[in-house]
Amino acid sequence: MRPIVIGSGMGGLATALILKKNGFDPLIFEKEKFWGGSFTSYKVGNYTVDTGMHFLTRGTTGELPKLMKKYIDGDVFEKNFVEQNKYMFYLGDKSDIVPANLSELLKFKILPFRDRLKFIKLVLYFLRMGRENTKTDLTSYEHVKKYIRSDKTLYFLNALSWMSNGCSMKEGSLSRFLDTFIKERRLSVGFVMKHLTSKRRAKEEEWYPIGGLITVPRLFLNEGLKVETGKKVEKIIVADGMVRGVEVGGKFYKSDIVIYDGLVKNLYNIIEGGKLEIKEPKYEEYQALTLWLGFDKKIADWNRVSKLKVMENMGSPHWGFFVTDFDPKLAPPGHQLFGISGILHKEKNLMVKEMKETVEYFIPDYEKHVDMEHVQVCRAEKTLHKNGNNIFYLPEQKTNIKGLYVVGTDTKGWGSGGTLCADTAFRCWEYIKNDINLTNLNNSD
């Protein structure tokens, strides 16, 4: 029996890869004409643009690199990814490298010195909450204001909230900041000392895929996964509380293992013969806006630095880099390709205008050399991490219907984006393995 994976986003592909490497031959259906979901690239003229500015985050510790290193042979990481050099924050007339540990935070000069000390107290408070697995329904802002009052530090923390939750600190949940700590229960004298004295820099956590973002799903497909594109799963057939297969274009495909990577809220509508009873995430659609600019010559040398401008009006920050610093082939020879993203939180044209002001701030007189401009709106994750809608509220991968599982960014897991997708895939596989042992679900037919 071939397991069926519905959707070829990172959640679906990561699960399919694990299944493949464990002796299954998954059948993947994708409703769009392309695979990768929100993790893909396409051509605009002679430029190759990604679906938003992406890095492979948590490059040394995250679940997605872990999954690739575990299941794809031959130094996959080293051969296919280029490390970011530096990650810079800009606030007013100050800039500095993003701190990756407490010792860097102490030296982080875009914040007033007194605030840095308070910030460390705040981090320790977060760590304690994480270690104790504290479930909190206060917004990030309500926690933060106990320690921090200065505008600069609030702007900075607000930028982190937009980046990790997709909304401002006044609406956002703390869970995204706590998730690693909750998972690893890391708070000890040793942990704090290690972080105070660590030599690690933030750059080690951010990698860009050679060939563009599409390289990531392509690496998965190279392992023998095949995606049936342009095939929307219309029904999931259930009988006696157990999944029996799916219907695509009126044709029935039999299977007793079905993994769903679409929006969980749509899953309710396509199940026939059973009732789905899982936690339904409170959905709030949110999208990111990316401005892509092609330049007719090399107009700046950023040397693999990415820059994030913190907005002093508490708006979503603008984060950009030259993708051609990582792979020159993404633009015609001698040209450069630059992208800048932010969460779409105001009228689109107004946001594009503000983004152009940021580009001007970073690259004065850039306009004279633009030979390609492309504005793109993409969904960043399936649901917004607002307060009251955090990891504690998302559904587990195993559903009440035997053999039916859910993965992707609206299911429970650690991290965000691709990291979260890989984590949900690992969690899903644990459930499948367990169920195979307990029941007659099997991989032979």
Q: Which residues bind ligand FAD (CB under 6 A)?
A: 6-12, 29-32, 37-39, 51-55, 57, 232-233, 261-262, 288, 290, 341, 378, 380-382, 408-409, 417-419, 421
Q: Which is nearer to ligand FAD, 5 or 129 (CB)?
A: 5
* Residue 318 Cβ vs ligand FAD, minimum distance, rounded to whole Å: 11
Q: Which is nearer to ligand FAD, 38 or 397 (CB)?
A: 38
Among candidate residues 227, 261, 217, the one with its CA nearest the CA of residue 33:
227
* Residue 418 Cβ vs ligand FAD, minimum distance, rounded to whole Å: 3
Question: How many whole angstroms separate alpha carbon 286 and alpha carbon 38?
Answer: 13
User: DSSP character for 393?
Assistant: G
Burial zone of 210 (CB within 10 Å; 0-12 exposed, 13-18 middle, 19+ buried): middle
Question: How many whole angstroms separate alpha carbon 218 and alpha carbon 225?
Answer: 9
Q: Which is nearer to ligand FAD, 71 or 125 (CB)?
A: 71
* Residue 235 Cβ vs ligand FAD, minimum distance, rounded to whole Å: 9
Q: Which is nearer to ligand FAD, 53 or 120 (CB)?
A: 53
Do the beta carbons of residue 76 and residue 438 sit within 8 Å? no
Within 13 A of 431's CA, how many CA atoms are on the CB side? 22
Phi-psi region of 53 (alpha: psi -120 to 50; beta: other; left: phi over 0): beta
Tokens read off for 136: 């909190």
Burial zone of 155 (CB within 10 Å; 0-12 exposed, 13-18 middle, 19+ buried): buried
Q: Which is nearer to ligand FAD, 76 or 106 (CB)?
A: 76
* Residue 292 Cβ vs ligand FAD, minimum distance, rounded to whole Å: 11
Q: Which is nearer to ligand FAD, 153 or 399 (CB)?
A: 399
Question: How many whole angstroms separate alpha carbon 308 and alpha carbon 162?
Answer: 12
Question: How many whole angstroms separate alpha carbon 89 and alpha carbon 98?
Answer: 6
* Residue 46 Cβ vs ligand FAD, minimum distance, rounded to whole Å: 22
Do the beta carbons of residue 112 and residue 152 sit within 8 Å? yes
Q: Which is nearer to ligand FAD, 290 or 399 (CB)?
A: 290
* Residue 254 Cβ vs ligand FAD, minimum distance, rounded to whole Å: 17
Report how many helices (DSSP H) and strands (DSSP E) the chain contains, helices first. 13, 20
* Residue 288 Cβ vs ligand FAD, minimum distance, rounded to whole Å: 3
Q: Which is nearer to ligand FAD, 140 or 411 (CB)?
A: 411
Q: Which residue is nearest to ligand FAD (CB)?
A: 9
* Residue 93 Cβ vs ligand FAD, minimum distance, rounded to whole Å: 27
Three-state secondary-structure class, residue 7: coil
